[in-house]
Amino acid sequence: QKEVEQNSGPLSVPEGAIASLNCTYSDRGSQSFFWYRQYSGKSPELIMSIYSNGDKEDGRFTAQLNKASQYVSLLIRDSQPSDSATYLCAVSRDSNYQLIWGAGTKLIIKP
């Protein structure tokens, strides 16, 4: 079992719809959770972090964390073609100096 799992996609969503990206993790001691966006040929960029159960909203992005079920998700409202990218989920324990990465989900927003 991989430590952090994501559906590789591609996930195709029409413009203006809600894109839903999911991530599951195996380490119950995980404390910090991150979503990164990576455009083709570019470096990963941090877009959301979440540390406690529930929802965290930032503009069109909402991160959702459920530690009991060991999943974290990212919702993108009013999806735009510029949201087309690979989204990487990363997880860590606070005492560790290392993030554990998922393989990423490729998101395509169709105009």
Partner 1 sequence: DTAVSQTPKYLVTQMGNDKSIKCEQNLGHDTMYWYKQDSKKFLKIMFSYNNKELIINETVPNRFSPKSPDKAHLNLHINSLELGDSAVYFCASSPQGTVYGYTFGSGTRLTVV
Give least dist CB 95 to partner 1, A. Answer: 8
DSSP secondary structure string for all residues of the chain? --SEE-----EEEETTS-EEEEEEES-TT--EEEEEEE-TTS--EEEEEE-SSEEEEETTEEEEEETTTTEEEEEESS--GGG-EEEEEEEE-TT-S--EE---EEEEEE-
Which residue of 43, 52, 69, 82 would you call a contact of partner 1, by CB under 8 A?
A: 43
Which residue of 22, 61, 67, 99 would you call a contact of partner 1, by CB under 8 A?
A: 99
**18 contacts partner 1 (rule: CB under 8 A):** no
**7 contacts partner 1 (rule: CB under 8 A):** no
- Residue 35 in contact with residue 88, Cβ under 8 Å? yes
**49 contacts partner 1 (rule: CB under 8 A):** yes
Binding characters for partner 1, 51-90, by CB under 8 A (x = yes): x----------------------------------x-x-x
Give least dist CB 54 to partner 1, A. Answer: 18
